[in-house]
Structure 1
């Protein structure tokens, strides 16, 4: 299984990249036979969703070169862990736009969440669950929610044993969901 750790914040001074790199290292060290890669939204050259044909009707055929490249990136993965902050009680608009550019590339694939914020990013994940289910993804029940007071020191990411356990639980469920689907296919 090839899993993307998808960092969704593009802000200057963001924590997402640091959290994503830490998560990638943790996941790669599991030695579970799966491949993990980082996708950093800040490194993607994407436009706003302006296509005349909505992704739901495009069936994976896009006109915009940037969307075509994004489609190729996303469809290369079997599952995802979204690293998402919470902005104003929801997900970042730029991450939602990147998600909305596509549809068939997400369908049927499992997705876990590694969220962070003052309240752990829980409200962002609640919104994400509705969004991903709408395009046929399989959101995991388990989520890793990192509250600033528990996983940050002086506003810098400071992972601890609990942080690692939260991520491990998401990874375990992600792999089990995929194996369950593979067996039933």
Structure 2
């Protein structure tokens, strides 16, 4: 496997201001961001889409995490599963929702489960859901904006999941207690 640097402020070059933004937001620079610093374009795109996903959608924190975690699990991203588990715990997402997302099992709340199922369908169909999948999401009270916001969340996770796959990003100590592994075979 190709070695990718986990950059510091001293080695980040053009990405230094982006790492400073991460430090300011999280209190530390997550290793994901330090690896992404190799490409200022990737790190800026990731930070921008993350901010858009968090502030421009009408989704709650729990709903956004459902989209993120569903993609993390399906894409087998051990780093993001651990990181987002920690984020959900800090945000007060109900434990039963966190457990369901980590295990890939249905969520008890029917509305949240419909969002999880639709997010899964978008990932596994590579963006080709059936009309019935969209109808099922709309039937529980979501709207067409939600359909499109799931695409935003999916794109956001592709950037981080794929980066972690190619770089083998080491898990930060802050996320270590929520380490996760997939028994699923890798996609071909």
The TM-score with structure 1 as length reference comes to 0.31
> Which structure carries more helix by proportion?
2
> Which structure carries more strand by proportion?
1
The TM-score with structure 2 as length reference comes to 0.30
